[in-house]
Every structure is written in C-alpha cells, then in structure tokens.
C-alpha cells in the first residue's frame, strides 16, 4: 500500500530481503537453474530474524514502531473497522481542526461516537493535519461531539495517535491548556460508556484531552507517556543522545503501562507491527473495541461515572515501608515528612 520503510533495527531484515529479491530475479532470468531450496531457506531465515528482533524490542524501538511511516492511522482504521462513518466538523466557536476527526460510526452493528487524531503521510498532508498535533479547536470539537453522544446515549470511542497538543503561539492564544482541562473535567460527567485506545503515540495532555475513559487500551507497539523520550532526555540529561535511556525510564510501553495499571488491556498486533498487516491489525482492534463495549454497556449511568472516578483516583498510589519507618522511629530518627494521605491519587493534586 505504501513504499517500504525500514527502521534502523530492521536493517538485518532488509539486507536478507534484498538477497531474496536477487535470488528471485536470478531464478526468473535462469529458469534452467533451480533456486527453490535457496529461496525457501532465505524466507525462513528472514522470518527467524524478524522473530528474534520483534520478541526482544527495547522501549525506544517500540517508540520507533509506533511512529512508523506506514503505521495505520485513524482513517485507515475507520475504513476497515466501521460499517459506516459520518464525519462531523467544527467546534462552533473558531473553526475545524483537521488533526482531530470525529463523527457517528457503526462498529459490528453498534452505534458509537468515534473520535481520533489523524496524522498525514508526506509533507503536504502532514501540514494539513498539523502532524497529528491538535489545536484548541480540535479539543473543543471533540468535546462538542462527546456531549452530543451523551445526549443521545451513544458510547464514545477514541483512537489516539499524537505526540501531543500543538504548542505554537496561536495554540496558546486560543487557550489550549484550558481546552484540554475542560475536556478532562467534562469527561467525568458523561453517562455513557467511554473507551480510549492508544493506537500509536499517546503523548502528554494531547492524548489526555480525548483519552479519559472507563477503559483505556494500548496497542502492543504503541506508547503512552507524559513526554516524548527525546523531550525527557533533553530535560533530564541535557542531551538527546540519552533518548534510549529516557524511553526505558519512562515505563511507556504497553507491558509497563499494564503493570502500572495505567491502562486496562493490550491490543495485540500482527507479528512485525501493525504496519505489516493493516487488515489483521484492524480485525484485532475491532474485536477489542467490541469486547469492551459489550462489557461497559451492561453498566448503569451511575456505575459508569463511579467506575471512571475510581479508575483515575487510584492512579499514582505508593506504599511506604512500614518496617523501615518503625525501625527509624525506635532509633529516635524522625521519619521524612509525608503528606497525610500518602496513597492518594495524584489526580486531585494531594
């Protein structure tokens, strides 16, 4: 569908693929010579190499997969997951942000409000989509559609793939922080099921602006983080050469997020990443969405709101070492000052 693009760590696969292509060309040019065994052996070697690489990806390599140029975007999934999709545009205040797309959709016979961030392919389309970084009007459009879904009792499904909200001066002039904050506040009041899926990059408040939900899923090679690894390295190490270490420290992979109870599930991807098989990736995503919606639609409006509150209230807990504190107290050492509510979730700013 798109020109092949190899990531740095995929170079061994690319080298083997080039040799395989040469064998096939030689076979076609010399039909009297049997290359079938060599071709079959090379194909097996390529699969083994791909398996060894993808079973041992580092956090930074998964970030690279999440950013792959051929990775499916929101409109790709709309085409393969939805039976129909009616786009609704504009925030009714400033304009229409093409980095955020939303509208009525049908998924496996279930009517939903589907909202997501859209990146471009190539310079021209990326400029139109603002590289998938929403402006304030994008978040206000999303909020308008969420309120519409709440009014008509439709589940809200969001697909997130953004490095973050646009940080340019015009975004600040139109109050991007306020737009994101209002979306987060209002999301706690909706009486319908809410599901968010991180399909690629889930960056900072840009993702949270449409990502607060009863269930948050993350695709196998996607990531969800308060900051990009490059940004973290620039701040903490003052050098972007430490990007790989920053990615590990941020605990941003699907496995880490599930262990930390930040997300509720991992959507598997075809072997080698979603960019290698769009149809299979869309099938897996569709199944995950349907399964979650079937579970959430059994809950009452009050249960959904309470479930959402408890989910985010529980984040950011920590436990103190009671034995160490007791020993410190018996030795006459004053323990470090702690807040009164030590295991409270950071969401309230306690």
| In contact, 281 and 270? CB cutoff 8 Å | yes
Full pLDDT tens readout for the chain, 350 residues = 455 778 889 888 888 888 888 888 888 888 878 878 888 888 899 888 888 898 889 999 999 999 999 999 999 999 999 999 999 999 999 999 999 999 999 999 999 999 999 999 989 999 999 999 999 999 999 999 999 999 999 999 999 999 999 999 999 999 999 999 999 999 999 999 999 999 999 998 999 999 999 999 999 999 999 999 999 999 999 998 999 999 999 999 999 999 999 999 999 999 889 998 999 999 999 999 999 999 999 999 999 999 999 999 988 766 666 566 566 666 655 545 444 444 444 444 44
Q: Domain limits of the chain?
A: 9-56, 64-313
| In contact, 296 and 214? CB cutoff 8 Å | yes
Q: What is the pTM of this model?
A: 0.85
User: Facing residues of 100 across strands?
Assistant: 117
Spatial separation of the C-alpha atoms in residues 239 and 175, rounded to whole Å: 30
Radius of gyration of the chain (CA): 23
Other CB atoms within a 10 A radius of the CB of residue 236 amount to: 13
Three-state SS for 197?
Answer: strand
Sequence-distant (6+) residues with CB within 8 A of 7 are: 61, 64, 65, 68
Q: Domain 64-313 maps to which CATH number in 3.90.226.10, 3.40.50.620, 2.40.30.10, 3.40.50.150? A: 3.90.226.10
Structure tokens at 157: 């499904």
């Amino acid at each position: 569908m798109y020109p092949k693009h190899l990531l740095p760590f995929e170079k061994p696969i690319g080298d083997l693929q080039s040799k395989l292509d040469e064998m096939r060309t030689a076979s076609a040019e010399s039909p009297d010579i049997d290359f079938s065994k060599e071709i079959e052996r090379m194909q097996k070697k390529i699969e083994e190499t791909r398996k060894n690489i993808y079973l041992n990806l580092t956090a930074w390599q998964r970030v690279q997969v999440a950013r792959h140029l051929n990775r499916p975007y929101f409109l790709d999934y709309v085409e393969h997951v939805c039976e129909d999709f009616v786009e609704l545009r504009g925030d009714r205040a400033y304009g229409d942000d093409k980095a955020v797309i939303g509208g009525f959709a049908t998924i496996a016979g279930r009517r939903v409000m589907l909202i997501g961030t859209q990146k471009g392919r190539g310079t021209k389309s990326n400029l139109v989509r603002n590289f998938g970084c929403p402006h304030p009007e994008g978040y206000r459009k999303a909020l308008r559609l969420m309120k519409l879904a709440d009014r008509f009792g439709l589940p809200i499904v969001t697909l997130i793939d953004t490095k973050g909200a646009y940080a340019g001066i015009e975004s600040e002039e139109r109050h991007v922080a306020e737009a994101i904050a209002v979306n987060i506040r209002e999301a706690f009041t909706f009486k319908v099921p809410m599901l968010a899926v991180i399909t690629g990059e889930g960056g900072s408040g840009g993702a949270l602006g449409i990502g607060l939900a009863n269930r948050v899923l993350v695709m196998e090679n996607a990531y969800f983080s308060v900051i990009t690894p490059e940004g973290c390295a620039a701040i903490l190490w003052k050098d972007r050469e430490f990007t790989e270490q920053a990615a590990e420290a941020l605990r941003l992979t699907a496995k880490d997020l599930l262990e930390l109870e930040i997300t509720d599930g991992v959507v598997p991807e075809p072997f080698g990443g979603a960019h290698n098989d769009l149809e299979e990736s869309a099938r897996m995503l569709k199944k995950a969405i349907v399964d979650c919606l079937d579970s959430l639609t059994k809950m009452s409006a009050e249960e959904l709101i309470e479930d959402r509150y408890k989910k985010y209230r529980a984040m950011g807990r920590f436990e103190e070492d009671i034995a160490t504190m007791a020993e410190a107290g018996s030795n006459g050492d004053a323990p470090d000052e702690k807040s009164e509510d030590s295991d409270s979730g950071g969401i309230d700013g306690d």
